Structure 1
Amino acid sequence: MDRVLGVDACKTGWVGIALGEAVDAYYAETIADLVAKAGSVCLVAVDMPIGLPDIGCREADVRAREEIGGMWLSVFMTPTRAAIDAPDYASANERNRDLDGGGISKQAYSLRTKLLEVDRWVRETPHEVVEVHPEVSFAKLNGQPLVARKKTWAGAAHRRRLLAGAGIVLRDDLGEAGKHAAVDDVLDAAAAAWTARRVARGEAVSYPDRPEVFSDGLPAAIWA
């Protein structure tokens, strides 16, 4: 069975869940090191925007919000490349207003470092890489949008049951991944791995159906 890897950012680095003959967990401070630790994988699914708009918003983000209903706030609108390149939040907000007509959230700008890390890495890696959003993946896995937020006990328990039902049983002891990543980060990486497996099998769908391509040349679509 070909192995796939789902990746999510955590406070101090990156956490990954690999699916193959077994369910394996990894942690590293950089995404490049994480993928290297995972070893042989045929596809990587990352919970981070890939393909930054030059102006306006990405259709991928709009469609993802539609797919998850009441959880729509968990999908932030990806800032324009000019905003992400800005050295501080105030400048980024101003640049985005000029190009998009709206500001950007502090949450979105706080991901700047990791977003740019992925932006560089995806151009260099030999792996096939797709973008995911865990709440879209969980909604697809559940057959409808979830209603309990992932940081609540009910939300975490529901997501873990959904993953187990799909054959992704997360051990209590995940080694370094379990020591560094929060519960929701591990669950999100596992959901990304579930989507990665679907992409590898030709079962996944993308939002939008035809990825957008901006001046950076990277296809922008969220898969589930």
Structure 2
Amino acid sequence: MTAATTETGRVLGVDGCREGWVGVAPDPDGPRAYVAADLRTLVRLAEQDGPVVRVGVDIPVGLADSGWRAADTLVRAALGPRRASLFATPVRAALEATDHAAGVLLSRAASDAGFSIQAWGLRGKVREVDRLVRDGEDRVREVHPELSFTTMAGHPARHPKKTWAGQRERVALLDAAGIRLDALTGATGSAGPDDVVDAAAAAWTARRLAAGTAVSLPDPPELLPHGLHAAVWA
């Protein structure tokens, strides 16, 4: 599915980091970074420099009550050798459990499989974004940086992102797309270089969403409970 609307204004790409969230806005005079403990505050900080029309966030948007999201299955297939970078999203009940072991039991009951401790580690951020979109924040769309880079290059990245070669590969793709991280200003706090690069990739997709040229997996997005739609955009 291609995004149907064309909007004018700033966009923000967001990735999780140790401090909470790091965002990159690909402004015409150079990208600007922001960091905050929660996503709502991050967007507010970005809006001090101009209205934000679209936010691309590297976290699941839309949780299933049973089974597995089509978006996760399709994106893993599209990523090929980089598929390990995507953790399948557990059902809502599993993410509301008191601990990982209890969540795995609930996941197996609803989806016939458990889920990784890494996916459990994202639980707080998943629930934060879920509350935000259910409260009516309609600018947020789910992205996955590796899918963004795959779309930019026309193929999955050749090197893992945490390697030196992988960072150079991704920074070069962003530079060719007009997001020059060597001109980055603003605050990144304790965010690692890979967090900033991923936020910039999310910003690339957010820019395509605003322009109406982004595409979704699945196409059309999957309708899930609470009136939410699950799709990863690139």
Instruction: Bin the TM-score by the shorter chain.
Output: over 0.9
Q: 1:2 aligns to what?
A: 9
Once the two structures are TM-superposed, the CA of residue 123 in structure 1 deviates from its matched residue by 2.5
Indicate the RMSD between aligned Cα atoms, in angstroms. 1.3
Q: 2:215 aligns to what?
A: 205
Aligned ranges for residues 44-83 of structure 1 at < 5 Å?
A: 44-83=55-94
Specify the code of the residue in structure 1 equivalent to 2:198: D
Distance in 1 of aligned mates of 2:222 and 2:186: 38
Does the alignment pair 1:92 with 2:103?
yes
Q: 1:27 aligns to what?
A: 35
Q: Provide TM-score, normalisation by structure 2.
A: 0.92
Secondary structure of the corresponding residue to residue 141 of structure 2: strand
Match of 2:22 among 15, 32, 35: 15
Once the two structures are TM-superposed, the CA of residue 202 in structure 1 deviates from its matched residue by 1.1
Aligned ranges for residues 137-148 of structure 1 at < 5 Å?
A: 137-148=148-159
Does the alignment pair 1:134 with 2:141?
no
Secondary structure of the corresponding residue to residue 108 of structure 1: helix
1:2·1:20 contact (CA, 8 Å) conserved in 2?
Answer: no
Once the two structures are TM-superposed, the CA of residue 94 in structure 1 deviates from its matched residue by 0.6
Distance in 1 of aligned mates of 2:137 and 2:131: 13
Q: Provide TM-score, normalisation by structure 1.
A: 0.96
Secondary structure of the corresponding residue to residue 167 of structure 1: coil
Secondary structure of the corresponding residue to residue 144 of structure 1: coil
Q: 1:154 aligns to what?
A: 165
Give CA deviations for 1:106-165 in whole Å, capped at 9, x if unaligned: 000011111111111123354521100000000000111112111000000110010001
Q: 2:3 aligns to what?
A: none
Once the two structures are TM-superposed, the CA of residue 54 in structure 1 deviates from its matched residue by 0.8
2:19·2:35 contact (CA, 8 Å) conserved in 1?
Answer: no
Any unmatched runs of 5+ in structure 1? none
Secondary structure of the corresponding residue to residue 180 of structure 1: coil
Distance in 2 of aligned mates of 1:172 and 1:92: 43
